[in-house]
Structure 1
Amino acid sequence: MDPTYKALIVCTNHTDYPTKPHKTGLWLSEATHFYDELADRNIPYDIASPNGGSVPIDEKSFDRRDNVNEKWYNDPTFRHKLEHSLKLEDVNPSDYQIIYFTGGHGTMWDFPNNQQLQEITRHIYENGGMVAAVCHGVSGLLNVQLSDGSPLIDNRQITGFSNMEEKLVRLDEEVPFLLEDALKQKNALYSKSLIPFLPYIEVDERMVTGQNPLSARKVGRKVIEEMYEK
């Protein structure tokens, strides 16, 4: 009998770049590909965001050739959860054994300094749960402190969207900071794939991080493996 786990998938509400006309938001595959792995185990889940309500989706992430995006975006339950996400203040962290930070550039504005997010993360982690994040969503881990005051990511193996990837998508001038630099400044042991945009994950105890959108499925798979097969 599988233990009963429940996952909290956290998404951004932020849509605007300082100068670019197009909108940001959730990078869709970072939610769908991760969840696709959980769905195989029938793991229940909720979707939450800092303000609750409708999660904006980065228009550039609607890839019509992506069957997994199609499958879940058109799934009534998943879609409803995306369009009616829980407010962080309404989340009871004791209900969850997995927290997963999706990416999309929007997260760089509304994840790092959100204290509710930090408290939820700390609670889940300190109660033996898994903390997972992908791409820009890793920014949500930057300021998480454990009960003893130590930073969650201090001296921990971690990855996230790289400086080179940010330059290649030409958004390095738009974001409030570069994630790779910020992680290193926090004394995280940052690493990345030699070639940009290839799947790459890091695992450190109960923390799993992925570098970029293509890493989301690997993060999901690793979370399941760590929770069920240890």
Structure 2
Amino acid sequence: MAPKVLIVLTSQNVIPNTDHQTGWYLPEFAHPWKILHDAGVELTVASPKGGEAPLDPASVEMFKQDEIAVNFHKNQEPLWKNTVRLADIVPRAKEFDAIFYVGGHGPMFDLVSDPISLSLIQTFASAKKPVSAVCHGPIVFVNATTPSGEPLLRDATVTGFSNVEEDQAQLTKLMPFLLEDRLKAIPGTKYVKADQPWGEKVVVDKTYQLGGVLITGQNPASATGVGKELLKALGL
């Protein structure tokens, strides 16, 4: 039987108090989706509000030379136009073998504190099922806890979008906080990043709090690597 992976997208379409459009980031869905889909993994796409999950238009423009991203954008629109509401996933959580969060700036505003998302992360992690995220996606873990109330990421090794990259993207002032700073603020958490901004960095931690597999990727360049590590974690 094919493994099942839950892919979670943001529902946040604008940065609060601005007219700056945001959402999920095209290559960070496109590349892992292709790897998982081509390996025969069954994929379900969800978001906090359900329905259409907003694609960050800047990512379409930025990756118009990326063949995988372009083909995905052109041919797979129903995946993000018709997402399942996260609340409707809760009763079905046991069906899935892993959870993956796509990045983009949107998760910094909704998924970071979404109670249903946090409960799902705890459910997957407690069952020792792989939990994974890329770029800004790892922000979904900063408020996650173990059943005993400990920070899920305590003593974990993780990566995610760096402060330097946020500065270079010229969006630091629009963020409620910086992802790197929030990860580093969790007791014992070790934040690591690529030698150069925008370089690939994927971290697999099998010793974090609940003893499952925690997979994080730093930036868009790390999306393919996260997809490959997720496949490995599923035994494929």
Task: Name the counterpart of 1:11.
Answer: 9
CA contact (8 A) 1:48 1:86 kept: yes
State whether residues 24 and 59 of structure 1, in contact with CA within 8 Å, keep that contact through their aligned partners in structure 2.
yes
Inter-partner Cα distance in structure 2 for 1:22 and 1:180: 22
Q: Contact (CA 8 Å) 2:10, 2:110: kept in 1 or not?
A: yes
Following superposition, the deviation at residue 8 of structure 1 comes to 0.7
Match of 2:31 among 7, 30, 33: 33
Q: Which residue of 1 aligns with 2:146?
A: 146
> In the alignment, which residue of structure 1 is the partner of 2:192?
191
Per the alignment, residue 126 of structure 1 pairs with 126
Q: What is residue 157 of structure 2 aligned with on the other side? A: 157
Task: Pick the aligned partner of 1:80 from 72, 78, 81.
Answer: 78
Structure 1: give runs of 5+ residues left out of the alignment: none
RMSD: 1.4
Question: Where do 1:17-56 residues align within 5 Å?
Answer: 17-18=15-16, 21-56=19-54
Q: CA deviation at 1:148?
A: 2.2
Supply the AA of the counterpart residue of 1:210: G
- Residue of structure 2 equivalent to 1:213: 220
Q: Calculate the TM-score normalised by the size of structure 2.
A: 0.91
Cα displacement (A) at 1:122: 1.2
* Deviation (angstroms), 1:59: 0.9
Q: Which residue of 2 aligns with 1:115?
A: 115
SS in 1 for 2:136: helix
Structure 2 residue ranges without an equivalent (≥5) = 207-212
Aligned residue in 2 for 1:166: 166
Q: Which residue of 2 aligns with 1:101?
A: 101
Letter in 1 for 2:54: P
State the Cα distance separating 1:36 from its structure 2 match.
1.1
User: Quick one: distance in 2 between partners of 1:51 and 1:25?
Assistant: 13
Q: Note the C-alpha offset of 1:19.
A: 6.0
Q: Which moved more, 1:21-30 or 1:11-20?
A: 11-20
Please give the TM-score of this superposition, normalised by the length of structure 1. 0.93
**Is the CA contact (8 Å cut-off) linking 1:97 and 1:128 kept in structure 2?**
no
Deviates more, 1:192-201 or 1:11-20: 11-20
Displacement of 1:54: 0.3
1:20 deviates by 5.2
| Distance in structure 2 (CA, Å) of the matches to 1:141 and 1:17 | 20
Note if 1:226 corresponds to 2:219. no
Does the CA-based 8 Å contact 2:101-2:134 persist in structure 1? yes
Could you report, residue by residue, the CA deviation over 1:84-111 in whole angstroms, capped at 9, with x for unpaired residues? 1111100021111110111111110001
Local SS of the residue matching 2:173: coil
Question: How far does residue 80 in structure 1 lie from its aligned partner after superposition?
Answer: 1.2
Q: Distance in 2 between matches of 1:81 and 1:226?
A: 23
Amino acid at match of 2:40: N
Contact 2:37 2:43 in 1 (8 A): no
The percentage of aligned residue pairs carrying the same residue is 32
2:66 counterpart residue number? 66
3-state SS in 1 of match to 2:140: helix
Contact 2:97 2:234 in 1 (8 A): no
Contact 1:134 1:212 in 2 (8 A): yes
> Once the 2 structures are TM-superposed, how far is the Cα of residue 31 of structure 1 from its aligned partner?
0.5
Corresponding residue for 2:210? Answer: none
- Report the number of matched residues: 225
- CA displacement, residues 139-175 of structure 1 (integer Å, 9 cap, x when unaligned): 1011111112222111100000011111111111101
